[in-house]
Every structure is written in C-alpha cells, then in structure tokens.
Structure 1
Amino acid sequence: MTRDWSRYWRSPDRPLEAMHAHFEQHVYHRHSHDTYSFGVTEIGAQAFTCRGSAHTSATGMVMAFNPDDPHDGHAADRFGFTYRIIHIGPEVVADALEDSTGSRMGLPLFTAPVLEDPVLAHTLHALHRALLGGASTLRRDELLRATVAAMVRRGSTTGDLPSGTPLTGAQLIAERVRRRLDDSPLDDLTAADLAQAAGCSRFTVYRAFQSAYGFAPSDYQRQLRLRIARRLIARGLPLAEVAARSGFADQSHLTRWFTRTYGVTPGIYRQAGLLPRR
C-alpha cells in the first residue's frame, strides 16, 4: 500500500504556491512551471532529469528550477522521499529582489538544478513553514524577500541571455513552432500544421523542438492546457467546465494529467486557495 501524501497551499492574489509531500510510488510526468521552483529534500532522495542530465536530490539538498525548465521526478529507492517546494512567479522574484537591493535587477538564472547548501535549505524551510503554517502576511513577505535574495546570492550564476543573441536554424524552427502552439493552445493541431508554420518537414519540427525545449510538441501543448486549467481552477470554475475549456476530453482526463504533472488532484489544488488567512 502506498503511503504517498501531499499538502498544497497557494496565494489567492499572486503567483506564489507551496507543496509539502511524501512520495514512494508517484512518478512525475515530464513537465515545467511558468514560475521559479525552489525545493528542499527533507528525507530520502528524489531522482530526476533536467537540462539533459540525471540528478539526485538527497536529504538536505536544494533544488532550483528556472521558469520553463522541463523536469520529471520519482523516488530514488523504495523508501521514498519527503520534500518541500515553493513556486514563485518571475514578477514576485523581481519585486523581492528590488525590495532587497533598492534597484530593479534582471531575472536570475540557475544553472545547477541541485545545490548542497545548508544555509539555503534552512532559509527555504523557514519560508515554506510560514506559507503552510499560517504565519502573518507581513512575516511571509519578509521571509519571501530574504529567501529570494539568498537563492540569487548563493545559487544563481548568471543572468538572462542577451535579447540579441542570434538563434541557430534549429532554434528558429523550434521558436516558430512554439509561437504557433502558444497562439492556439486549444486548437486540434496536426504535425502537418506545425511543419507548415515552421516551413520544414514534420521530422525536422519534432527533432528541433525536442532539442530546444526538452518536450515533444504534443507534451508542450498539454503543458499549456494544464496551465490554462490551473488558472480556471483558481477562479473557482467547476472541474467539468475547466476540463472542457482547457482542451481535455472530460474531468477524469484532466484529473489524470493534472495529478501526474503536479502531484495533487485538481480538487486539492482548488481547495488550497480557500484556506483561511490567519
């Protein structure tokens, strides 16, 4: 019998979410977030792939994912792992850094998905406990600012790529395909549609997109639909309506992919935003 469990919290008014979970059998389907995701492993070890390499986050280690970093995850052994993770929107990160430094900075980039840093682990743990434990809004904001500043100071290595960096031919193809998917995430697109948008063969589309983004185009399309579903769930829409409006066949189809991707059901995610403030 599985002993998997999870507890979720999300802010009702800004892109800030947190999860505390223990997984022995749950396997994360490859996915990404439109936020920064900072986690700390409390017990056991989690194995995952990110940016083309395999990684393991063991007890006390910190994980750092940039927005749109594709990754998966599962227990490294039969004993499972317990971890805490916080998802912070880029705009919240930018505001926190401005509060800490007094000036507007570029968004950070984390090149190492796993960090061995007890100070960061302690800082993340304190913020996470405040978010899920009912601390005052003022205390949460103070810890959020301190955590973001510490993560950037101790974990980030470089800034964003310059906007003028030239793209290779394969990157241009991948960007055209991504733009087509972003523009119409609910359209029933075919491989031929994407090939036409990119001006090349279907095989070239798949290879270029997989190389650039770590996803097949169909996986990326599903990711876009899941993000739509998250927003609709946060607005309080019935789950059956959410499924219909976000491109899933029905509520069970949405629930299956939502749980595989995020580790919680749509119902738990909806309830997480209804927790009373203290």
Structure 2
Amino acid sequence: MAESAEWTRVGAGRFALDLLTASYRRHQFARHSHATFAIGVVTCGEEQFHYRGALRRAGVGSLAILEPGEPHDGMAGRPEGWAYRVLYPSAALLFDGHPEPTHFREPVVTDPRSVRLVRAAHEELTAGVDPLAGQSRLVWAFAAVIGRHGERRVAAGALRARDAAAVRKVDAIRDRLLADLRCAPSLRELAAGVELSQYHMIRVFREATGFPPHAWLVLERVCHARRLLAAGRTPAEVAGAVGFADQAHLTRWFKRVTGVTPAAFRKSVQDRGPRAGVESGA
C-alpha cells in the first residue's frame, strides 16, 4: 500500500469541515488531540491507537469516534498498514439540531450502517460535484452516529472550590502560552503566574489537558499553522509566525501530527479550494 494523504476543506466559518483521505504503512502519528471530533472509517488494513488508557484497534468495517481534547496517537496495526477516510466536525456542526451534551463512550464500534453512511458522506463531499447531496448525506451520517452510539452525558455537580481554582489556573496557563506563539515563556514564569511550584504547575496542567505545557504548545502551533497554510501562507512564512525554529522544524512536527507535510497540506487545500456545501442546518 503506497503512502498518501490528502486534506480537503468544505464550508466556511463556524461550519467549516476538514476531511482526510489517507493510506499509511510506516507513518506513526505523534500523541496529539483535536479541537474537533474525529469520525473515521477504515477502508483497508488496520489502524491501532492509544486512547483513554487502552490500545484500540480499528479495522475494515469499524467506525472510530474520537472526542475533542482526547490525547491519542496512531500507527499501523498490520504490516500492510491502513487506509481511512476521516471527518473532523466541530461540536456545533455535529450536534446541530440534536440535544447536547453527547458522549461517545466507545471509540471504536462495529456498525455497518453508520460506516456506510459516513463513508458515503465523505466521498460525496470530497468529490464536490453535488453540494446538496453532500449536505444530505452528512446529516444522515451524523444522525446515525449520534443516535446509535451517543450517550447523554450526566451533568456533574457543582465543582469543589479547589477544582474550580485548578480550572482557572489551567486557563491562565493556556492564555499565557497562547499570548505569543513565537516566544514561549519559561517554566518559572508559567508557574509564578499561577502561584504554583514548577512541578505542581506541570502536574495540574497535564491532568487537565493530557499534555505538559511544552507539548501542548507545539500542538497549538501546528493547529495555527494549519489555518495559515489553508489561507495561502507559505510554509516558510508560517514557521516563523507560529514559533517554530525554521521550516524544517515545522515540517517535522506538522507531519507527525497531521500525516502530511505543510507543503502537501497547503497544496491539497489550495488546489481543491474551499467547497460550498456545509451550512447551518447541514
């Protein structure tokens, strides 16, 4: 199986949707998380990934549903590798017209009907020939995924005072890291800003996000790089804008997280162009 990957973006604004069509043999995704859901179907071979403390396997005929902010990696589960199609909907897009909050307890399920609907929606949207058909298939696919595999999340009680304080500290650390992607603060500065020791600050942040501050910042840089590349900026411009040492540094991390180089990502999105077809209500 030859390695290849292509990203496509449809819609715009709040209802933009990224799609990935890819096949891999040796590629290994670095541990990362997404700001959106990731809903994928394996079309060939098998992928395995660590998620919520366990090694998961997704083969042909299975549906993978990963929630936002959940750390995971990704690699081949068999020597021949794997191929898949993945949708990356925001919560607003996925749950439009459905009650929230919904939780997906099982990250990998066997469900031929949902697999068929998700794959059909992905293929229609990627082809871009009939936007209305793509919208319709997306609605049916999301309804099936939510209805057959979603669970109502039980609302938690009021946070204890110390929990609320920890949330505020984590938010403050995030804000400080994002204040200037090009110039990361030191651990001492981050810890002093929330009145914690450096060790305690790292532990609190990692418990909340799944990553230590430096790893979380790298992933945010990659996320911002994707947006700039999709907007037409060159990899060389983007590297400095988001805080990577140079283009080579950006390329190494970008491929580990997204499966493609910055140049390939920019080309696939720019060549195909943003597609109309994902609007409010779709």
What TM-score range do you get, normalising by the shorter chain? 0.7 to 0.9
Question: Bigger relative contact order, structure 1 or 2, given CA contacts below 8 A and separation 6+?
Answer: 2
- The aligned amino acid for 1:120 is S
Inter-CA distance 244–147: structure 2 relative to 1 (3 Å threshold): same
Is 1:251–2:247 an aligned residue pair? yes
Is contact 1:130-1:139 (8 Å) kept?
Answer: yes
Is 1:8–2:7 an aligned residue pair? yes
Is contact 1:109-1:160 (8 Å) kept?
Answer: no
1:1-278 aligned at under 5 Å gives the runs: 3-11=2-10, 13=12, 14-94=15-95, 97-98=96-97, 105-159=99-153, 161=155, 164-166=158-160, 168=163, 173-273=169-269, 274-275=271-272
SS of 2:207's equivalent in the other structure is helix
Runs of 4+ in 1 over 4 A off after TM superposition: 160-164, 169-173
Q: Quick one: distance in 2 between partners of 1:112 and 1:34? A: 19
Q: Quick one: distance in 1 between partners of 2:233 and 2:34? A: 21
How much does 1:171 deviate?
A: 5.2
Inter-CA distance 12–264: structure 2 relative to 1 (3 Å threshold): farther
Q: Which moved more, 1:239-248 or 1:178-187?
A: 178-187
Unpaired segments of 5 or more residues in structure 2? 277-282
Inter-CA distance 216–23: structure 2 relative to 1 (3 Å threshold): same
How much does 1:34 deviate?
A: 1.2
RMSD (CA atoms): 2.3
Is contact 1:51-1:214 (8 Å) kept?
Answer: no
Is contact 2:33-2:72 (8 Å) kept?
Answer: yes
Q: Quick one: distance in 2 between partners of 1:44 and 1:174? A: 39
Q: How many residues align?
A: 270
Inter-CA distance 7–38: structure 2 relative to 1 (3 Å threshold): same
How much does 1:106 deviate?
A: 2.4
SS of 1:194's equivalent in the other structure is helix
How much does 1:181 deviate?
A: 2.4
Q: Quick one: distance in 2 between partners of 1:49 and 1:172? A: 29
SS of 2:272's equivalent in the other structure is coil
Is contact 1:108-1:160 (8 Å) kept?
Answer: no
Q: Quick one: distance in 2 between partners of 1:160 and 1:257? A: 37
SS of 1:41's equivalent in the other structure is strand
How much does 1:257 deviate?
A: 0.9
Q: Quick one: distance in 2 between partners of 1:20 and 1:133? A: 12
Identical residues among aligned pairs (%): 30
- Cα-to-partner distance string for 1:123-181 (whole Å, 9 max, x where unaligned): 11111111222331111111111111111111211248559544636555444423432
Q: Quick one: distance in 1 between partners of 2:48 and 2:194? A: 35
Q: Quick one: distance in 2 between partners of 1:173 and 1:52? A: 25
Inter-CA distance 163–151: structure 2 relative to 1 (3 Å threshold): farther
Inter-CA distance 163–198: structure 2 relative to 1 (3 Å threshold): farther
Q: Quick one: distance in 2 between partners of 1:156 and 1:182? A: 32
- What is the TM-score with the length of structure 2 in the denominator? 0.87
Is contact 1:186-1:225 (8 Å) kept?
Answer: no
SS of 1:142's equivalent in the other structure is helix
Inter-CA distance 124–156: structure 2 relative to 1 (3 Å threshold): same
- What is the TM-score with the length of structure 1 in the denominator? 0.88
SS of 1:203's equivalent in the other structure is helix
SS of 2:7's equivalent in the other structure is strand
